[in-house]
Structure 1
């Protein structure tokens, strides 16, 4: 397990899946804001690639996020689009509604930075988030990410196009425990 100040990132357990499905992915609005594909219902027990970790894709690493105090599941963290040639990857996270606003997002981003720069030896990490996602923008910037651009009207979210912000962080810019 990778540990931050408040959270740990660990392998996905089977018992995590029903909680994540109910609290994150069955929420149409949340799911529509978090993903680049349209929401669709998934029957219980289905092998949903957002939840079930198969290790088939070397460019994707999925974690469950737990509170260090007590081990309660609080969300997901994802390392995706891993490019070993250019030494870059994208990061993302999703927190359960009860876990939001407690500083967990900033800690998850910090742990993902440690994983990317120290464990994987990457050069660049990137985040794309909706322009109105103040929580993710703040978590990224507290960890040293820099706004590199705006992708205008690039995300279709619940009937309207929304801007996305592109943020990046290079290995030499990263300051561990800066959050």
Structure 2
């Protein structure tokens, strides 16, 4: 498990699947804003669920986010689109509705960066979010991502096209930010 200040990132467990599917996938409005693919009804136990247990791949690293204070499942975090040749990847995060706004997302994002840069040896991480997602924009800025551009009307959301922001962070920028930010260095542990 990767441990931050408030959360830990661990492998997904069978008991996580139903909770994540119900609270994150079946929240159609939020899921439609967070995923480039159209929402469609998927039964909870289906292997098509984005939270179904799968074998690890080189292209994605999927984690469950747990709150360290009590071990409660807080959401999901992932690195996806990992490109080992260009040493880059994309970052994704989704927290359970009642656990949003407690700075868990910022801590989880820092852990994903640590994993991507220090463990996988990536050179660049990128995140995309809709222009009105103030929580993700705040997290990107606090962690050290730089706004790189706007993709005009790039996302089809709730019957209309929405603009999308792209943020990027290089390994060298992460190292500089980390060295200047005491108390944000994650630790690894085999304890669940």
Per the normalisation by structure 1, the TM-score is 0.96
RMSD: 1.2
Whole-Å separation in 2 of the counterparts to 1:140 and 1:33 = 17
C-alpha contact 1:88 1:123 (8 A) present in aligned 2:
yes
Question: Which structure exhibits the higher relative contact order, with contacts defined as CA atoms closer than 8 Å and separated by 6 or more residues?
Answer: 2
Q: How many residues align?
A: 179
The Cα offsets for residues 80-133 of structure 1, whole Å up to 9 and x where unpaired, read as 010111111000100000110000111111000100111111110000111111
How far is the alpha carbon of 1:54 from its aligned partner?
1.5
Paired position in structure 2 for 1:4:
4
Residue 55 (structure 1) shift = 2.4
Unpaired runs of 5+ residues, structure 1, are none
In structure 2, distance between residues paired with 1:122 and 1:71: 29
Q: Is the contact between residue 53 and residue 62 of structure 1 (CA under 8 Å) also seen in structure 2?
A: no
- Per-residue deviation, 1:44: 2.7
Which whole-Å deviations, capped at 9, do the CAs of 1:44-76 have from their partners, x for residues lacking one? 311135101312632011000000111000000
**Is 1:143 aligned to 2:143, yes or no?**
yes
Question: 1:130 matched to which residue of 2?
Answer: 130
2-side partners of 1:160 and 1:77: how far apart? 27
TM-score w.r.t. the length of structure 2 is: 0.90
Structure 1 segments, 4+ long, off by >4 Å, are none
Equivalent residue for 1:103?
Answer: 103
| Pair 1:79 & 2:92 matched | no
State the secondary structure of the residue aligned to 2:178: coil
Name the residue aligned to 2:178: 176
Q: Following superposition of structure 1 onto structure 2, how do residues 46-61 of structure 1 map, counting pairs within 5 Å?
A: 46-55=46-55, 57-61=57-61
Cα shift at 1:43: 1.4
Structure 2, unaligned runs of 5 or more: 185-192
